[in-house]
C-alpha cells in the first residue's frame, strides 16, 4: 500500500531516506489522479521494501506542494538522496513508471 505522505513526515520518509522515493501529488477531485492511483498502489506492492512509494494530497499538504512547485496534478516526482531525479506531470502507464523507477533505484 502506498505511504501517506504529509507536510510533517515528508522530510523523514522521503528526503532523509537512502531509498528511491516515488511521490504522487494528487487530489480527490482530480479525474486523472484517480486513473493513476491504482498504478501507484500496484507499484507500492511490487517494490515494497526497496522503494518508498507514496502519495501527497495537495489539498491537505500545501507546504510540500509549494516547495516542489506542483502546479498541475497528478505530478509524480522521483527523489533520491533528497534530490529530484525524475519528474512526470499527467497520467502515466504502469510500465513507463516502472521503467523510470528501474532507471533510478
Residue with cell 504502469: 94
Instruction: Let me know if 23 is exposed, middle or buried by CB neighbors in 10 A (0-12, 13-18, 19+).
Output: buried
pLDDT for 16-60, tens place per residue? 999 999 999 999 999 999 999 999 999 999 999 999 999 999 999
Query: What's the pTM?
Result: 0.96
Share the mean pLDDT of the chain: 97
Answer yes or no: 49 catalytic: no
Please give the pLDDT value at position 15. Answer: 97
Answer yes or no: 5 catalytic: no
23, 33, 64, 76: which is the annotated catalytic residue? Answer: 33
Domain 3-104, architecture per CATH: 3-Layer(aba) Sandwich (3.40)
Residue 35 in grid coordinates: 486513473
H or E element: which one contains 77? strand 75-80
Domain boundaries of the chain, sorted by first residue? 3-104
The predicted model gives 67-82 an average pLDDT of: 97
Please give the pLDDT value at position 64. Answer: 97
30, 85, 89, 98: which is the annotated catalytic residue? Answer: 30
The predicted model gives 80-85 an average pLDDT of: 96
Amino acid at each position: 500500500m502506498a505511504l501517506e505522505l504529509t507536510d510533517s513526515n515528508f522530510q523523514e520518509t522521503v528526503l532523509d531516506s537512502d531509498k528511491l522515493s516515488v511521490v504522487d501529488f494528487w487530489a480527490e477531485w482530480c479525474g486523472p489522479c484517480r486513473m493513476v492511483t491504482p498504478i501507484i498502489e500496484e507499484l507500492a506492492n511490487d517494490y515494497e521494501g526497496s522503494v518508498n512509494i507514496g502519495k501527497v494530497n495537495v489539498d491537505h499538504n500545501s507546504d510540500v506542494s509549494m516547495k516542489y512547485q506542483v502546479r498541475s496534478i497528478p505530478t509524480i516526482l522521483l527523489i533520491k538522496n533528497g534530490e529530484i531525479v525524475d519528474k512526470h506531470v499527467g497520467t502515466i502507464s504502469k510500465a513507463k513508471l516502472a521503467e523510470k523507477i528501474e532507471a533510478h533505484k
